[in-house]
Amino acid sequence: MSISEINPDEFVIKHRRKLYKFALFANSDICYEMDEWKSRQIDVIEIGAGTGLFSVELATRHPDQTFLAVDVKADRLQTGARLAIERGLTNIWFVRSRADLLDQLVPDHSVQSLWLTFADPFPRQRADGRRMTHPHFLRSYAKVLGKEGALYIKHDNGTFFDWSLEQLAVEKWSIDELSNDLHDSDLPDDYKILTTYETRWLGEGLVTNFVRTTPPKPTK
């Protein structure tokens, strides 16, 4: 497309729509920027939550637990925040933050469950350090997980999933539950709650790989 073919009005509309979504996030009582968030007790965190609809459904099913949906893009998170407000949920919050700042969001060894749902696989060579199952991320997760805490990973990309299993083995994490086709397994229904991306991938004939894993126990 040449410059002469660009419609300025279309650009302005799209730009304003994105600003509107950021305004919705900024004005919500359950949405926070990283520097606004006050550390508190959270039971379940979804990292790279996208729209956060997965966390909203979990929070709906488990009103006795507290949930935090974390993503770097506020315009995605506001989708889940609006649904949470519509449902009258008081046990879920949304924070715009990078995953490597996780230990600044919650106290050490306090979280019961960490969900990593369909993270960017970064397939290019030399991009492994950006993958959210790289050892430096796993160590960060281990720092915030409680004594019985677990990491739950869902992914459609088999190559990324297998690579992640290798990293877990290197870091001496225990594999507690494993499936290469989650929705054709006998695993709990909570695991099968669909994310926005998962709905799309399943519609394209892909399967969901899943693992529940726990970090190594600290040595005394």
pLDDT tens, position by position, 107-134 = 999 999 999 999 999 988 778 899 999 9
Q: What is the model's pLDDT at position 26?
A: 64
Other residues' Cβ atoms within 10 Å of the Cβ of residue 77: 29
**Mean pLDDT of all residues in the chain?**
88
AA identity, residue 35? D
Q: What is the model's pLDDT at position 22?
A: 53
Which of 90-94, 99-103, 142-146 has the weakest average pLDDT?
99-103
Q: The sheet that has 92-96: what strands, in order across it?
A: 31-33, 92-96, 67-71, 44-47, 111-117, 145-155, 209-214, 174-179
65-76 burial by CB neighbour count: b if 16+ within 10 A, else e?
ebbbbbbeebbb
Which among 63-67, 99-103, 205-209 has the top mean pLDDT? Answer: 63-67
Chain segment 154-195, per-residue pLDDT in tens:
999 999 999 999 999 999 999 999 999 999 999 999 999 999
Q: Can you tell me the mean pLDDT for 124-146?
A: 92
Residue 213 CB-density burial (10 A; 0-12 exposed, 13-18 middle, 19+ buried):
buried
Q: Which residue has the tokens 């650009």?
A: 11
Higher pLDDT, 31 or 56: 56
pLDDT of 152 > 70? The answer is: yes
Chain segment 76-86, per-residue pLDDT in tens:
899 999 999 99
Catalytic residues: 120
Q: Which residue has the tokens 């869902």?
A: 154
Residue 84 CB-density burial (10 A; 0-12 exposed, 13-18 middle, 19+ buried):
buried
User: Quick one: the chain helix, strand, coil %, rounded to 5?
Assistant: 45, 20, 35
Are 69 and 55 within 8 A, CB to CB? yes
Can you name the CATH fold of 3-214? Rossmann fold (3.40.50)
Q: Can you tell me the mean pLDDT for 50-54?
A: 94
Q: Can you tell me the mean pLDDT for 127-148?
A: 94
- Domain boundaries of the chain, sorted by first residue: 3-214
Task: Tell me whether strands 209-214 and 174-179 are parallel, antiparallel or unpaired.
Answer: antiparallel
The whole model's pTM is what? 0.87
User: Directed axis angle between helix 74-86 and helix 8-26, to 10°?
Assistant: 50
Q: Can you tell me the mean pLDDT for 26-32?
A: 81
